[in-house]
Amino acid sequence: MARPVQYNVKNEGGKIVITDDMPPGYGGEGFFATTLDQVVGWGRKNSLWPMPFATSCCGIEFMATSASHYDIGRFGSERFAHTPRQCDLLLVMGTIAKKMGPILKQVYLQMSEPRWVIAVGACASSGGIFDTYSVLQGIDQIIPVDVYVPGCPPRPEAILDGLLKCQDLVGQESLRRRNSDKYKALLNSYGIE
């Protein structure tokens, strides 16, 4: 079935509509003035490099999200690096058992600041239906989490929504946040120096 192709830049009667928001600022002929915070945030949020940490069922839904049908690349996040050193977004998908816990923490520590974490699915968020001796009851017990995506497993649309929510966070984050005492206290509460 043929479907009309849509672009995010539409030409409606000679007027160009750009759907991606520019940071607010003062513009004119040949110049655009805004704050550094906003322009850096704008740049960061549209070029997140996710590190997929897929352990179980949610990983399969993530495969669907990144494949042709749902295509996470539409949101500037298709560049999976699989190495924590290069990534700034950790996507934890699936159950994290206690045996896996230290490894997840190590992966988080290997990422450089600024870094964000999305807990995809019920297991990563809270342990889900597995309230057992071997399962960690949510990854927020070992690393700080920015966005939680509910569902068991979440639909690809939900994962995309979680990514967009995270982009909002990233775009609005102040440049000083990572140096603040509050942030240091947060990391200290997880035993991270």
Partner 1 sequence: MSLTNEYIRQRITEKFGDAITNVEEPAGFLTFEVPKEMNLKVMQFLHDDNELKFRFLTDLCGVHYPNQEGRELAVVYHMHNLVDNVRLRMKVFTGINDPDVFTATSLFESANWQERETYDFYGINFVGHPNLKRILNVDEMDYFPMRKEYPLEDQSRIDKDDEMFGRGGSIS
Partner 2 sequence: MSELIHQQPHHVKLPEGSIEKQTTTLNLGPTHPATHGVFQNILEVDGERIISSEQTVGYIHRAFEKIAERRPLYQITPLTDRLNYCSSPINNMGWHLTCEKLLGVNTPKRVDYLRVIIMELSRIADHLICNSIVGVDSGAFSGFLYVMQYRELIYEIFEEVCGSRLTTNIGRIGGFERNFTNAAFEKIEKFLKEYPVTLKEFENLFNRNRIFMERTMGTGGISAERALNYGFTGPNLRATGVDYDVRVAAPYSSYEDFKFDIPVGSTGDNYDRFMVRNQEMWQSLGIIEQAFRKVQEFRGTDADVYHADVPEYYLPEKQDVYTKMEALIWHFKIIMGEIDMPKGEVYHSVEGGNGELGFYLISDGGRAPFRLHFRRPCFIYYQAYSELTKGALLSDAVITMSSLNLIAGEMDA
Contact flag: residue 175 with partner 2 (CB under 8 A): no
d(CA 8, CA 30): 23
Contact flag: residue 135 with partner 2 (CB under 8 A): yes
Unique residue bearing structure tokens 């996710």: 50
Contact flag: residue 68 with partner 2 (CB under 8 A): yes
CA-nearest of 56, 82, 48, 8 to 160 is 48
Provide the minimum distance between the beta carbon of 82 and partner 2 in the complex, in angstroms, as a whole number: 4
Peptide bond into 150 cis (omega under 30): no
- Total number of residues that touch partner 1 (CB under 8 A): 10
Long-range contacts of 15-21 (CB under 8 A, 24+ apart): 20/46
Contact flag: residue 98 with partner 1 (CB under 8 A): yes
Binding pattern to partner 1, positions 117-156, x when CB under 8 A? --------------xxxxx-xx--x---------------
The answer to whether the CB of 92 falls within 8 A of the CB of 123 is: no
User: Toward partner 1, which CB reaches closer, 26 or 133?
Assistant: 133
Question: Of how many residues is the chain composed?
Answer: 193
Residues lying near partner 2 in the complex (CB under 8 A) are found at: 53-57, 59-61, 63-64, 67-69, 82, 94-103, 105-107, 109, 129-130, 132-136, 141-142, 152-153, 155, 191
